[in-house]
Chains A and B, each alone.
Chain A
Amino acid sequence: MPEKIKQVTLSNGLKVLLKEIHTAPLVSSWMWYRVGSRDEVTGATGLSHWTEHMQFKGTPRYPASVLDRAISREGGVWNAMTFLDWTTYYETMPSDRFDLALSLEADRMVNSLFDEKDVASERTVIISEREGNENEPLFQLGEALQQTAFRVHPYHHEVIGDMADLQTITRDMLHAHYRKYYVPNNAVLAVAGDFETKSMLARIRELFEPIPAGPVPPRLARPEPPQRGEIRLTVEGPGETAYLQIGYRFPSASHPDFFPLSVLDSLLAGPSNPNLFGGGISNKTSRLYRALVDKELAVSVSGGSSLTIDPFLYFFTFTVHPERSPEQVLAALDAEIERAQTELVSRQEIARAIKQARAIFAYGSENITNQAFWLGFAEMFADIDWFLTYLDRLAAVTPRDVRRVAREYLRPQNRIIGAYLPSGEGA
Chain B
Amino acid sequence: MKTKPIHPLPGADDVYRRVLPNGITILARPNFNSAAVTLSGYFAAGALAEPQEKLGLADFVASALMRGTQKHSFDEIYNRLESVGASLGYDSGVHTTSFGGRSLAEDLPLLIDLFSETLRTPTFPADEVERLRAQLLTGLALRAQDTSDMADLTFDQIMYAGHPYSRPGDGWPETIRSITREDLFDFHRSFFGPRGLILSIVGGIDPQRAADIVENALGGWQPDEQKDMPSLPPLKPIKKTIQKKYRISGKSQSDLVVGTVGPRRKDSEYVAASLGNSVLGQFGMMGRIGDVVRERSGLAYYAYSNLSAGVGPGAWTVSAGVNPSNVKKTVDLVKRELERFVNKGVTKSELADSQANFIGRLPLSLESNGGVANALLNIERYNLGLDYYRGYVERIRAVTPRDVLAAAQKYIDPERLGISIAGP
Contact = CB atoms under 8 A, between A and B. Distances in A.
Interface in A272-313: 278-279, 281-285, 290, 293-294, 296, 299-300
Contact of A121 (B138, B142, B297): B297
Contact of A131 (B104, B253, B362): B253
Interface residues of B, number: 71
B138 A362 contact: no
Given A74-B356, A121-B296, A281-B82, A358 B104 contact: yes
Nearest to A281: B87
B250 interface: yes
B34 A69 contact: no
A299 B135 contact: yes
Contacts of B321: 128, 131-132
B84 A355 contact: yes
Contacts of A76: 360-361, 364
A240 B141 contact: yes
A75 B357 contact: yes
A423 interface: yes
Given A270-B82, A362-B36, A72 B251 contact: no
B374 interface: no
B137 A322 contact: yes
Contacts of B84: 355-356, 359
A77 B370 CA distance: 18
B104 A68 contact: no
Contact of A238 (B75, B135, B145, B356): B145
B359 A285 contact: no
A323 B31 CA distance: 48
Interface in A185-216: none
B79 interface: yes
Interface in B54-75: 74-75
Nearest to A137: B145
B36 A366 contact: yes
B135 A300 contact: yes
A420 to B, nearest CB: 12
A399 interface: no
B85 A356 contact: yes
- Name which of A97, A271, A356 has the most chain B CB atoms within 10 A of its CB: A356
Given A128-B323, A135-B252, A73 B357 contact: yes
A322 B134 contact: yes
A26 interface: yes
Contacts of B283: 72
Contact of A365 (B35, B137, B323): B35
Interface residues of A, number: 76
B244 to A, nearest CB: 15
Interface string B353-378: 10011111111101111100000000
Contacts of B34: 362, 365-366
A112 to B, nearest CB: 16
A281 B85 contact: yes
Contact of A296 (B79, B131, B251, B294): B131
B83 A352 contact: yes
- Name which of B138, B249, B359 has the most chain A CB atoms within 10 A of its CB: B138
Contact of A24 (B131, B285, B361, B367): B367
A367 B250 contact: no
Given A26-B364, A69-B284, A75-B362, 18 more contacts: A25-B363, A68-B285, A72-B283, A74-B360, A94-B364, A121-B296, A131-B323, A132-B302, A135-B251, A238-B249, A241-B145, A282-B81, A285-B79, A296-B131, A352-B83, A359-B84, A359-B85, A366-B369
Interface of A: 2, 23-26, 56, 64, 68-69, 71-77, 92, 94, 97, 120-132, 134-135, 137, 237-241, 270-271, 278-279, 281-285, 290, 293-294, 296, 299-300, 319, 321-323, 352, 355-360, 362-363, 365-368, 423, 425-427
14 contacts: A23-B33, A26-B364, A26-B367, A68-B285, A73-B360, A75-B356, A76-B361, A92-B364, A124-B298, A128-B299, A130-B252, A281-B82, A352-B82, A359-B103
Interface of B: 1, 3, 8, 31, 33-36, 74-75, 78-79, 81-87, 89, 102-104, 131, 134-135, 137-138, 141-142, 144-147, 247-253, 283-285, 294-302, 321-323, 353, 356-364, 366-370
